[in-house]
Amino acid sequence: MKPMRRVVAFVLMATLLAGYAISADTKGKATSKDIIEDTATRQAQMKRAFEAFRTKLAVLAGRLDNGSPAEKKKAESLKKALKMIGELGTAGRFDSVITGLTKKNADENLDVLGQIVKDNKDLRQDLQKIIALLMDGDNAKKMAERKERLKALLEQLKEARNGQERLQARTEMGKQDPKELVKPQDKLTEQTKATLDPKENADEQAIQEIEAIKKPVEEAVKNQKESSKQLAGGKGKMSGESQGKAISKLDEAIKKLEELLKQQREEERQQKLADLLARCRRMLAAQTEVRDATEKLDKEIQKTRDKKPTLIHAGRSTKMADQQLGIVREAEATLKLIKAEDTAVVFAEVFEQVHKDMDIIHSRLERTDVGIVTLTTENDVIATLQDIIKALERAMQEPEDAEAARGQGQQKDQKLVNFLQQLKMILAMQRRINTRTTLYGKTYTGEQAPVVEIAKDEKEKQHLATIRKELADLAGRQERLSKVTREVSKQPEANQ
């Protein structure tokens, strides 16, 4: 629904600008005081926009509340969002940030600036929660519910069809008095008719699904009733023919439902792909920004006399680490979605490795380690995300494979990406593991990984412990990649 999409679009924009207000890079020769004042102005504008959004949300909820049952459900979601805004005190978050930014000499007070950053982070988290609530129960949930509904209806039809086929066999064998089969036939007739009864509180779409099979099912019921009359009259042969016609009509209805279910599965698959693609593009843009900032900071540190970071460099690196943490959180959420998809084994491993790399980058940036290993890891993440985006884009363009969608008469979910794309991702992962291993070998010389005991101080001790941990992680990745490769080799396409 367009109003709902506009609501979500606004909150997404608010989330972006709420982060931008604090993290935007300065241009020209603006002083820190100018930047603070400009940010305060932006934040005040965002507060006014948010209040306008909140008002429109309430108006939209009121309008939908007087509409159809489906619109009333949407109204409930909007009311929950309004309630959450009140409980979280989101409007007050804006005030807290504005108050901090407008304090006298805020640009020189580290405590005030620290509180502003914290309040701004809380505000962004509030907006993300509102987005999640508005999205909850919407398209993805409805699609899943529809798929389950279609599967249940299909199972009902198949059960009726198989029961009729068994009764036809008994009728045609002629071992029983036809009149003894009247009762089982009447029971099957009622069972078939029941498939056309809409469930309580069925929405318009559920009714349309029943309409799609109504004609063949009604004709099947007509044939079943005729069979019952013929059985009562002792006409077993004629009854068997009527039962055969009923089976044929039930097959027709089953075929229609299977087609609807196939379409639903493809729509659901496309929705998942679109969601993953949007997430990956956001992560790619954010990671590229962090990589560029890391590269710039490393060059500046290399120009210093002792090539060691200053407190100013450490502050910038900490800010970058905060940005990286946001990317890590996005990857965690994406990984949960992928792990819930049992046809995405390779994707799950790719994202597992990407998530670990993002976490490594975050840890290194917190220590102001912006050297070659950090930069290489960032470039690996960017390259992997680019590979994933290409695979997702290709998968969205590919129609569902009829062979992959069927297996011994039962429909199965298609894989998110095809066999070839999975192999390409496995190859890319293997190359990056090899490259990273080579890099560690050149950067940290010696036959064995550096031991913590040789550290001169606590800082170096932590550094060496991190290196050992990262090397152990590489070994684990290689083992998991081997396992995933074996799993992929078991797919039917591997033997073609």
Q: How many residues does the chain have?
A: 496
pTM score above 0.85: no
What residue type is 244 in one-letter code?
G
- Supply the DSSP string of 36-76, one letter for each residue: HHHHHHHHHHHHHHHHHHHHHHHHHHHHHTTS-HHHHHHHH
What's the confidence (pLDDT) of residue 198? 83
Of 469 and 357, the one with more pLDDT: 357
Give the model's confidence band at 317: pLDDT under 50 very low, under 70 low, under 90 confident, else very high. Answer: very high
What's the confidence (pLDDT) of residue 464? 66
pLDDT in tens, 421-447: 666 777 677 777 777 777 766 666 655
Please report, for the domain that includes residue 31, its CATH number: 1.20.120
Give the model's confidence band at 298: pLDDT under 50 very low, under 70 low, under 90 confident, else very high. Answer: very high
In this structure, the answer to whether residues 177 and 92 fall within a common structural domain is no
Q: Give the total number of structural domains in the chain.
A: 3
In this structure, the answer to whether residues 378 and 484 fall within a common structural domain is yes
What's the confidence (pLDDT) of residue 411? 47
pLDDT at 11 over 60: no
Residue 59 lies in a domain: yes
Of 61 and 159, the one with more pLDDT: 159
In this structure, the answer to whether residues 251 and 315 fall within a common structural domain is no
Residue 234: both structure tokens together:
């002792």
**What value does the mean pLDDT of the chain take?**
78
* Domain carrying residue 99: 1-137
Residue 312: Cβ within 10 Å count: 9
Task: Tell me the average pLDDT across 303-328.
Answer: 90
In this structure, the answer to whether residues 371 and 448 fall within a common structural domain is yes
pLDDT in tens, 217-255: 999 999 999 999 999 998 888 999 999 999 999 999 999
Last residue of some domain: 238, 260, 282? 260
Residue 314: both structure tokens together:
């450490």
Residue 111: both structure tokens together:
């405590």
Residue 141: both structure tokens together:
């949930």
Q: What percentage of the chain exceeds 70 in pLDDT?
A: 73
Closest CA to 23 of 250, 245, 290: 290
Of 303 and 86, the one with more pLDDT: 303
The residue written with tokens 């496995």 in the block is 426
In this structure, the answer to whether residues 309 and 441 fall within a common structural domain is yes
Rg (CA), the chain: 31
Last residue of some domain: 137, 172, 198? 137
In this structure, the answer to whether residues 86 and 156 fall within a common structural domain is no
Evaluate whether 241 touches 168 at the Cβ level (below 8 Å). Answer: no
Give the whole-angstrom CA distance, residue 319 versus residue 105: 21
Residue 431: Cβ within 10 Å count: 12
Residue 160 lies in a domain: yes
Give the model's confidence band at 95: pLDDT under 50 very low, under 70 low, under 90 confident, else very high. Answer: confident
Evaluate whether 334 touches 401 at the Cβ level (below 8 Å). Answer: no
Q: How many CA atoms lie within 13 A of 20 on its CB side?
A: 11
In this structure, the answer to whether residues 199 and 332 fall within a common structural domain is no
Residue 475 lies in a domain: yes
What residue type is 406 in one-letter code?
R
Give the whole-angstrom CA distance, residue 90 versus residue 122: 9
Evaluate whether 78 touches 61 at the Cβ level (below 8 Å). Answer: yes
pLDDT at 24 over 50: no
pLDDT in tens, 186-217: 999 999 999 998 877 777 888 888 899 999 99
Residue 295 lies in a domain: no
Residue 290 lies in a domain: no
What's the confidence (pLDDT) of residue 404? 43
Residue 279 lies in a domain: no
Task: Tell me the average pLDDT across 89-103.
Answer: 81
In this structure, the answer to whether residues 107 and 200 fall within a common structural domain is no
In this structure, the answer to whether residues 5 and 130 fall within a common structural domain is yes
Of 348 and 334, the one with more pLDDT: 334
Residues 6+ apart with CB under 8 A from 294: 320, 365, 370, 374, 375, 378
Evaluate whether 196 touches 217 at the Cβ level (below 8 Å). Answer: yes
Give the whole-angstrom CA distance, residue 181 versus residue 171: 8
What's the confidence (pLDDT) of residue 291? 94
Last residue of some domain: 137, 155, 172? 137
Task: Tell me the average pLDDT across 91-114.
Answer: 79
What totals of helices (H) and strands (E) does the chain contain, helices first?
A: 15, 2
Residue 275 lies in a domain: no
pLDDT at 400 over 90: no
What's the confidence (pLDDT) of residue 167? 93
Of 284 and 46, the one with more pLDDT: 284
Residue 273 lies in a domain: no
In this structure, the answer to whether residues 104 and 152 fall within a common structural domain is no
Collapsing DSSP to helix, strand or coil, 341 comes out as: coil
Residues facing residue 407 across a β-bridge: 410
In this structure, the answer to whether residues 398 and 486 fall within a common structural domain is yes
In this structure, the answer to whether residues 130 and 166 fall within a common structural domain is no
